[in-house]
């Protein structure tokens, strides 16, 4: 962020130039929804296509595009219907609703401002605030009681109750199929795991990506784009063998230095540490190569968008913060005027989701790994004693004996133990239960040829909140010129800039039209977005206007251009200008945007030009 950064100035610019505004503005809106206007929409597209190139293309990922509306059974299986909730609490008089952890935090923060506050209490408040979003219903209620917290209107509050954050609806005309708007894109990937595995050739590791909208019915959305009810996610599910989380491209990032904020530092001195990726893995700070590889790739991606490295850190989740599916998690946090904001999560979801869906859908979501050579192993085998089984179970005897014959070693060993301990054991076959006694089954330990093994893969999930990243890019790109402090502008990188090049004729004289058309056609053909400004304002004011939406380059056409087709090219960041033939200039514009030519190099290729200046 710039020194003297003023959020109000940024927000005014974002709204005035229609980067984004609250949705349904003419109907006074609904909080938590934003519409992207032309420059914002373009920035969003650019962020997404940079992401697609950086992750999907460069890492050869499989991309999918799955349904948003998701039937209840899927989100029941994944645990979302039960656990995807925040605690809400309401003023018993006005019925106003609050998110319990937010209300708690705000009130305790106010109390902390009191300098006479008891030291013991101060410490207690600070600890509560640090983990406010982790308390369960009962703990939360006790805290509200203990600290005598009332509503902002000084009324008594209800008990906190969990409020599920998913929007629900019904599919079909009969109103019987309940469904939700997906709260994340990941489930679409998990339910398609079998087909994706087949597409990937039946082997892990492979990675699947999805970019799309997700929805969370936040109790009280706030902080602009940072906490909204409808948002775009870009998610990767990288499937690995649970005992082999190495990454084949790890050496490419091993020497990179990341700013880390591990659990240990958070719980001690609160300071981040700079560390080489390979050291962090070697020392067990980052759990495995794959997780670390993605963190490094995320770092590169964010820098590419214009995030400043000094405003970027990776914070490890504390134990109690972890989502219900995660076993380890590192957030890429970006420093903004709202503080450090979580923009990308890197979670190790372990085998949670695939196991959950296997259980409910009865579809095996696992990988069969063939050994290079078959192995001989000792394995337990269960042998049905047909005579006894036949007598006791009659028509079901064949079912039971087949089940026993097909039992794998682990299950057979378990059954053996249970029968040995209790003299009997229950088994379930096709939802029916049978009780087996000692004389129904015999066990043996035999040498068996094992061709391979079945396993449920682990999942490493980098998940990008596109809206939050865009907001962070706005703050990190926002700038003010020394000589014009009233007006801010954006130093967007060429990849992010909503429009790449503006075209400014010196005046609205129609003599300029043919050349302008030539310039515009050539730029468009090269896929370079342009903005033509033919208003009669001075060139200086028009430069300021294109700066406001962060256009990196401007081509100016003047009366000399009509003689020799020469034009001026202006660089937004340095405000310097060069002069050259329009066709050569456009070739350079293309190369600058592609990243293969710097402005420095441009100034060596073309003569400098000093009139008209930004002040005109």
Residue in the block written with tokens 């980052």: 286
Nearer to a copy of itself, 120 or 176 (CB): 176
Nearer to a copy of itself, 24 or 559 (CB): 24
Nearest-angstrom CA–CA distance, 385 and 383: 6
- Answer yes or no whether residue 32 interacts with a copy of itself by CB under 8 A: yes
Among 94, 145, 168, 402, binds a copy of itself (CB under 8 A): 168
Does position 159 interact with a copy of itself (CB under 8 A)? The reply is no
Which C-beta is closer to a copy of itself: that of 281 or that of 554? 554
Q: Name the token pair of 563.
A: 């003689």
Residue tagged 């207690």 (tokens): 124
Minimum CB distance to a copy of itself smaller for 220 or for 265: 220
The residues in 360-379 that bind a copy of itself, with binding defined as CB under 8 A, are 360-361, 363, 365
Q: How far apart are CA 90 and CA 73, in angstroms?
A: 30
Q: Which of residues 328-367 bind a copy of itself (CB under 8 A)?
A: 357, 360-361, 363, 365
Q: Does 169 bind a copy of itself (CB under 8 A)?
A: yes
User: Binding residues for a copy of itself, how many (CB under 8 A)?
Assistant: 78
Closer CB to a copy of itself, 23 or 266, in the complex: 23
- Is residue 502 close enough to count as binding a copy of itself by CB under 8 A? no
The residue (of 123 and 252) whose beta carbon lies closer to a copy of itself is 252
> Does 195 participate in binding a copy of itself (rule CB under 8 A)?
yes
Binding mask 279-308 for a copy of itself (x = CB under 8 A): ------------------------------
**CB-count exposure of residue 607 (10 Å: 0-12, 13-18, 19+):** exposed
Burial 184-220 (b: 16+ CB within 10 A, else e): bbbbbbbbbbeebbeebeeebbbbbbbbbebbbbbbe
**Which phi and psi angles does 402 have, rounded to 5°?**
-60, -40
Which residue, 249 or 276, has its beta carbon nearer to a copy of itself?
249
Single out the residue of 463, 431, 346, 360 nearest to residue 79, CA to CA.
360
Rounded to a whole number of angstroms, the minimum distance from the CB of residue 567 to a copy of itself is: 19
Cis check: omega of the bond before 192, within 30 degrees of 0: no
Cβ of residue 239: shortest distance to a copy of itself, in angstroms?
14
Distance from C-alpha of 51 to C-alpha of 236, rounded to nearest angstrom: 11
The conformational region for residue 28 under phi > 0 = left, psi -120 to 50 = alpha, else beta, is left
Dist. CA 477–CA 1, nearest whole Å: 8
**Residue 107 Cα distances to 131, 143, 209, angstroms:** 15, 12, 41
The interface with a copy of itself within residues 202-261 (CB under 8 A) comprises: 213, 215, 217, 219, 229-230
Q: Which of residues 506-525 bind a copy of itself (CB under 8 A)?
A: 524
- Ranges assigned E (strand) in 385-540: 424-429, 432-437, 441-455, 458-465, 478-481, 484-490, 501-505, 530-532
Angle between helices 38-51 and 466-477 (to 10 degrees): 110
What tokens were used for 326?
Answer: 């995660």
Q: Can residue 173 be called a binding residue for a copy of itself (CB under 8 A)?
A: yes
Relative to beta strand 230-240, strand 458-465 is antiparallel
Within residues 552-581, the interface with a copy of itself by CB under 8 A covers: none
- Select from 114-122, 196-204, 323-331, 555-563 the region that touches a copy of itself (CB under 8 A): 196-204
**Paired tokens of 205:** 């590791």
Q: Smaller CB distance to a copy of itself: residue 167 or 434?
A: 167
Residue placing its CB nearer to a copy of itself in the complex, 337 or 521: 521
Q: Is 174 in the site for a copy of itself (CB under 8 A)?
A: yes
Nearest C-alpha neighbor of 43 from the set 603, 604, 492: 492
Give the one residue of 198, 270, 274, 339 binding a copy of itself; rule: CB under 8 A.
Answer: 198
Of 66-125, binders to a copy of itself (CB under 8 A) are 66-71, 73-74, 88, 95, 97
Q: Which stretch binds a copy of itself (CB under 8 A): 137-145, 165-173, 281-289, 335-343?
A: 165-173
Tokens 């259980």 sit on residue: 359
Contact segment (CB under 8 A) with a copy of itself among 39-47, 307-315, 317-325, 484-492 equals: 39-47
Our CB check for a copy of itself shows the closer of 49 and 583 to be 49
**Using CB under 8 A, which of 23, 158, 287, 507 touches a copy of itself?**
23
Residue 535 touching a copy of itself (CB under 8 A): yes
Residue 466 interacting with a copy of itself (CB under 8 A): no
């Amino acid at each position: 962020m710039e020194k003297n950064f003023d959020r109000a100035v940024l927000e005014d610019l974002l709204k005035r130039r229609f980067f984004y505004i609250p949705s349904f503005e003419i109907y006074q809106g609904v909080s938590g929804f934003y519409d992207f206007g032309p420059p914002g929409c373009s920035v969003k597209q650019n962020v997404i296509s940079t992401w697609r190139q950086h992750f999907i293309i460069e890492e050869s990922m499989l991309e999918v595009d799955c349904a948003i509306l998701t039937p209840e059974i899927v989100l029941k299986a994944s645990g979302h219907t039960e656990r995807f909730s925040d605690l809400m609490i309401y003023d018993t008089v006005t019925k106003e609703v609050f998110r319990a952890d937010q209300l708690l935090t705000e009130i305790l923060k106010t109390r902390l401002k009191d300098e006479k506050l008891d030291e013991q209490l101060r410490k207690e408040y600070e600890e509560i605030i640090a983990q406010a979003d982790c308390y369960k219903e009962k703990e939360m209620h006790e805290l509200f009681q203990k600290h005598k917290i009332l509503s902002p209107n000084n009324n008594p509050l209800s008990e906190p109750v969990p409020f599920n954050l998913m929007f629900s609806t019904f599919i079909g005309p009969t109103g019987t199929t309940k469904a939700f708007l997906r709260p994340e894109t990941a489930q679409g990937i998990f339910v398609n795991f079998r087909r994706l595995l087949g597409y990937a050739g039946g082997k892990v590791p492979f990675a699947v990506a999805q970019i799309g909208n997700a929805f969370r019915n936040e109790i009280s959305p706030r902080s602009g784009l940072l906490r909204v009810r409808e948002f775009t996610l870009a998610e990767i599910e990288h499937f690995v063998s649970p005992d082999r989380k190495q990454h084949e491209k790890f050496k490419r990032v091993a020497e990179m230095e990341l700013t880390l904020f591990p659990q240990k530092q958070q719980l001690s001195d609160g300071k981040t540490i700079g560390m080489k990726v390979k050291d962090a893995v070697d020392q067990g700070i980052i759990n495995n190569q794959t997780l670390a590889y993605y963190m490094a790739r995320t770092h590169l991606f964010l820098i590419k968008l214009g995030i400043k490295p000094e405003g970027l850190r990776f914070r490890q989740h504390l134990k109690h913060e972890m989502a219900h599916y995660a076993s380890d998690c590192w957030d890429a946090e970006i420093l903004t005027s709202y503080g450090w904001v979580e923009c990308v999560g890197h979670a190790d979801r372990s085998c949670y989701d695939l196991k959950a869906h296997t259980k409910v859908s009865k579809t095996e979501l696992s990988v069969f790994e063939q050994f290079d050579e078959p192995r001989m192993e000792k394995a337990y085998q269960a042998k049905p004693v047909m005579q006894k089984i036949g007598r006791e179970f009659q028509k079901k005897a064949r079912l039971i004996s087949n089940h026993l014959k097909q039992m794998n070693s682990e299950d057979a060993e378990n059954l053996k133990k249970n029968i040995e301990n209790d003299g009997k054991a229950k088994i379930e076959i096709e939802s029916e239960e049978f009780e087996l006694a000692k004389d129904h089954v015999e066990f043996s330990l035999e040498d068996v040829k094992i061709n391979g093994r079945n396993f449920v893969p682990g999942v490493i999930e980098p998940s990008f909140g596109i809206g939050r990243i865009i907001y962070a890019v706005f703050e990190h790109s926002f700038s003010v010129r020394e000589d014009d402090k009233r007006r801010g502008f954006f130093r967007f990188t060429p990849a992010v800039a909503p429009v790449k090049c503006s075209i400014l004729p010196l005046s609205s004289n129609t003599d300029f039209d043919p050349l302008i058309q030539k310039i515009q056609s050539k730029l468009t053909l090269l896929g370079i977005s342009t903005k033509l400004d033919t208003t009669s304002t001075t060139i200086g004011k028009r430069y300021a206007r294109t700066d406001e939406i962060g256009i990196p380059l401007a081509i100016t056409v003047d009366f000399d251009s009509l003689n020799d087709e020469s034009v001026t090219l202006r660089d937004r960041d340095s405000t310097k200008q060069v002069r050259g033939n329009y066709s050569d200039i456009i070739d350079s514009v293309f190369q600058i945007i592609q990243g293969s030519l710097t402005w420095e190099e441009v100034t060596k290729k073309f003569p400098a030009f000093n009139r008209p200046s930004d002040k005109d």
